Chains A and B, each alone.
Chain A
Amino acid sequence: MKRRDAAFEDAVRANEDDLLRYFQRRLLNGADAAEAFGELLLTAWRVRRKLPAEPVQARMWLYGVARNVLANSRRTLARRSQAVQRLAAEMRAIIAVPPTDEASVEVRAAIEALAPEDAELVRLVYWDGLKSYEAAAALGINPSTARSRLSVVKRRLRLALSPTATAHLAGE
């Protein structure tokens, strides 16, 4: 195996669980998440020459490709791949479950109401566990911009959430 291909497979192996969860959290349906994950692998493979050598940069590059896959609903490569369809069939019954308590429902609605890039920044940092500079790289924005946006967004979320939701947090 060529060194470039081995580096690509190492990067995918190190991040595959997180990347699949990324799609599960956003698409909920297991088969949809599986197709998106497959499309990510097939797309990234074709442009693997662009994969950064440094592991953190490689991880962010994969998240960037994942974001593009999410934005494009066609999944052309995945739908022609038997291997992807096999994963989709296995994941058909796996549904990501959003918490249904009142506070969580309200928080998700407040995130949805943000500008799309701000909402994705919030999800990347607090749902997917990325550092703010990592999320910035995945979104193609400056790290300091990401930090200041997060600060503004948290203020907006605080204002958007009702007293009921915040009381839930306080255990009242």
Chain B
Amino acid sequence: MSTTLPPPRTEERVNYLNVDYGWKSWLFTTDHKRIALLYLFSITAFFFVGGVFAGLMRLNLLRPDGMFQHDTYNKLFTMHGIIMVFFFLVPSIPATLGNFLLPIMIGARDLAFPRINLLSWYIYIAGGLFAIGAIVRGGVDTGWTFYAPFSSSYSNTHVILAAIGVFVSGFSSILTGLNFIVTVHKMRAPGMTWGRLPLFVWAHYATSLIQVLGTPVIAITLVLLGLERILRAGIFDPTLGGDPVLFQHLFWFYSHPAVYIMILPGMGVISEIVACYSRKSVFGYVFVAASSMAIAVLGFFVWGHHLFVAGQSMYASMVFSFLSFFVAVPSAVKVFNWTATMYRGSISFDTPMLYAFGFIGLFTIGGLTGLVLATLALDVHLTDTYFVIAHFHYVMVGGMVLAYMGGVHFWFPKITGRLYPEYWARIAAVIIFIGFNLTFFPQFILGYLGMPRRYATYAGEFQVLNVMSTMGASILGLGYVLPLIYLSWAWFKGPKAPQNPWGAKGLEWEAAPSPPPTLNFEVPPVVTEPAYNYAGEVEVG
């Protein structure tokens, strides 16, 4: 932390938080920063609901013969998946940090469509209520993937309610994406050229393209599922003349790109953190930005790698396997560039950087095990086993959740105007890292040994590894509760934060106070240098 900054002002400035305390000023706000906080509280609630389901699953798996009824366990993993994917991971970084920071980072006073932004939150909540309704009325047992014909013709649970929840919340995702795209195109401050955009913005731009282009497909798919379930229209169920593999094609046409909706914003956060705590411009800026776009585009052409044993043509499988290796390249490029950014930097070990280290390590493992699954003959053995579970949790939790935690800590002073307790934050980061690995690493081994996923009971020889995983999950759970406590405390009682406590570059730190006023800047910013100009270089030409 730099000591050369001026002391914080003692007099309370008017900012977006203290401008009005009434409930209407929150529920009818069009301020992107307040909407970001509405999202923050909502997704945090969903995260802990989804987390409790995960905890109960791990509890059940302590014993080979399980503890709960099979139906109960099946509902637990289904609701865990639906809540975490659609109500936490998809909105996590874009709707909170993205919403808060994207306009400030490009020097805009708000998003292009502030009321649509608020509408997106209400739609999200409406979708969430349907999902909660499905839980309260007894749950769903189809798995978050809703595979037909089980979901359309066989399940006796609240499939329609849950599907409506996912369907509705998709529109909030589309609206957020739309808002971001228009904002980045039309509302950049003078001097904020495309080549100067922070990589966080590039990552969100790429994410938004997927949200706008991909999400309608899952909406259509769920409508077709509803038509078959309610009206018995023969679309997926072969006894009605449908094709069950068609459902999987449609589902993954969205849900594979959705994986990139879930990870790209995290990559954007890591670029910001690594640059700040290395005090270096990001190595290969153009390549990191372009790799986000490449991932967004290529991500649409790999959905078939979920169907290698599902009965699709072996030649189709071959093409999808090849393209899946291809999409690994831009992800690898990012990891190499972050590592190279640290070369000859000035590296500090503040909490956000600890999360960034964790992200790079765990995402590397998550990405490389993706290569194992892209290899056709290995996928035949490993698909639908715990290997897949471990792989995507390394990407989604080891990657996205760590990036989210890193981002929340990094921008916490900007969002709240307070500093979090560094000591506790570092402890929590280490606990999360240890707990995570103990939970999910044994699952790679379980997968290769052949333990299938979604099993309420399992063969006795898998018990040791399952017990290890459950132990890890308890540590991980503790790691998540700690930040909830100390961040809540710091929000009200933490020391006041200066405008730029980390000495970071970027308009949100250099031009906007902490917390920012409603219109973000006291003076409209003009950009005169490239992003991450930590060395203070003067641009030539």
Instruction: State whether these chains interact.
Output: no
